[in-house]
């Protein structure tokens, strides 16, 4: 049996968009969908003026409303619901342990393309090693719905470290969706090299050829494993975060990795993941890896 897809809902448009995305993904994987609602009422962050009974009814209505809509769109999809108690990020991370994928909503910047990653989403993201997808609110209320063709997937690749989990997820998604996959890697010469791509274009071209070959070598086993996936490789000179954000324009899904960092100061995202999460319009899948 395929691992189920879990999505967190809280009654906001962002979480409803996440639920729609999760339902389509679950149907694509032929996996069950679990809709969960997590709240810590002691935090006083959401309708604290309501008595416990009213709050419980409101939570049940949030789950029922999302379930009803998704069952109409995906009548054959197995859907279950669960209410979680405790701190939302902790409860969601614990729930994700048994899931194949966790999907969360993320607040958009209005007319400005990008995410504001809320504290719950960010805390949950760094507390679990289960793949997490963050989804913006849909601008037209119905994009990427059932029956809509899938678009391109973009995956950010770091050629200097193993990223098998990231590549496996990206290739599997592209194969399921029968869509193109674009693998991108950004690089820049270290300051100590004494060279500038602008002042020494021949050096830049030579380095770029070397980097492109390293990227191709890293992707070759995956090409062979997924011969049906239409793969495009791209390298570029510049800030990896900024260039990756630009490369994701028009993408249907962006896949990135995050290093698992264990320290007394807690976990955090690297600068590239931070840039992509805050400035990419498409859903972003984040894969934890060593």
Residue 146 maps to a domain: no
3-state helix, strand, coil in the chain (%, to 5): 40, 25, 35
DSSP β-ladder status, 132-136 and 253-259: unpaired
| Final residue belonging to a domain, choices 136, 168, 190 | 136
110 with 181, same domain: the answer is: no
Going by C-alpha positions, the residue among 193, 192, 8 that lies closest to residue 104 is 8
pTM: 0.87
37 has a pLDDT exceeding 90: yes
96 with 124, same domain: the answer is: yes
95 with 161, same domain: the answer is: no
Q: pLDDT per residue over 222-258, tens digit each?
A: 999 999 999 999 998 877 777 788 888 889 999 999 8
Instruction: Give me the CATH number covering residue 118.
Output: 3.40.50.620
Instruction: Give me the CATH number covering residue 170.
Output: 3.40.50.12370
Give the span between the Cα atoms of 120 and 205, in whole angstroms. Answer: 43
| Structural domains of the chain, count | 2
HSE-up (13 A, CA, CB side) for residue 89? 13
Helix H or strand E encompassing 103: strand 101-109
Residue 242 maps to a domain: yes
Q: Can you tell me whether residue 80 is helix, strand or coil?
A: strand
121 with 176, same domain: the answer is: no
84 with 180, same domain: the answer is: no
Would you state the pLDDT for residue 145?
66
Residue 144 maps to a domain: no
Residue 12 maps to a domain: yes
Segments forming the whole domain that contains residue 18: 5-136
128 with 184, same domain: the answer is: no
Average pLDDT over all residues of the chain: 83
Q: Can you tell me whether residue 102 is helix, strand or coil?
A: strand
Banded model confidence at residue 202, pLDDT cuts 50, 70, 90: confident
Banded model confidence at residue 48, pLDDT cuts 50, 70, 90: low
CB atoms within 10 A of CB 79: 18
| Final residue belonging to a domain, choices 136, 170, 205 | 136
173 with 251, same domain: the answer is: yes
Q: pLDDT per residue over 59-102, tens digit each?
A: 899 999 999 999 999 999 999 999 998 888 899 999 999 999 99
Would you state the pLDDT for residue 133?
96
55 with 124, same domain: the answer is: yes
Question: Please, are residues 116 and 108 in contact by the beta-carbon 8 Å criterion?
Answer: yes
Instruction: Give the C-alpha distances (Å, rounded to integers) separating 198 from 186, 191, 193, 195, 202.
Output: 16, 13, 14, 9, 9
């Amino acid at each position: 049996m395929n691992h189920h897809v879990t999505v967190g809902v809280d009654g906001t448009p962002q979480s409803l968009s996440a639920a729609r995305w999760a339902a389509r993904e679950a149907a694509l994987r032929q996996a069950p969908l679990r809709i969960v609602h997590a709240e810590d009422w002691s935090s006083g962050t959401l309708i604290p003026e309501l008595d416990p009974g009213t709050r419980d009814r409101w939570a049940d209505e949030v789950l029922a409303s999302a379930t009803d809509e998704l069952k109409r769109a995906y009548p054959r999809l197995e859907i279950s619901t669960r209410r979680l108690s405790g701190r939302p990020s902790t409860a969601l991370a614990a729930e994700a342990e048994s899931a194949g994928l966790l999907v969360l909503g993320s607040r958009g910047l209005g007319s400005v393309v990008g995410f504001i990653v809320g504290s719950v989403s960010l805390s949950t993201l760094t507390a679990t090693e289960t793949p997490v997808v963050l989804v913006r609110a849909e601008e037209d209320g119905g994009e990427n719905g059932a029956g809509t063709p899938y678009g391109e997937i973009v995956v950010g690749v770091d050629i200097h470290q193993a990223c098998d989990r990231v590549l496996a997820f990206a290739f599997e998604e592209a194969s399921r969706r029968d869509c193109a996959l674009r693998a991108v890697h950004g690089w820049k010469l270290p300051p100590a090299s004494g060279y500038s791509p602008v002042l020494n274009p021949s050096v830049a071209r030579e380095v770029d050829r070397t980097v492109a070959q390293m990227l191709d070598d890293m992707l070759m086993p995956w090409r062979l494993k997924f011969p049906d996936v239409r793969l495009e490789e791209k390298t570029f000179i510049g800030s990896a975060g900024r260039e990756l954000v630009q490369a994701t324009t028009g993408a249907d899904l962006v896949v990135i990795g995050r290093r698992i960092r264990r320290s007394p100061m807690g976990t955090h995202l690297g600068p590239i993941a931070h840039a992509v999460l805050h400035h990419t319009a498409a859903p972003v899948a984040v894969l934890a890896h060593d």
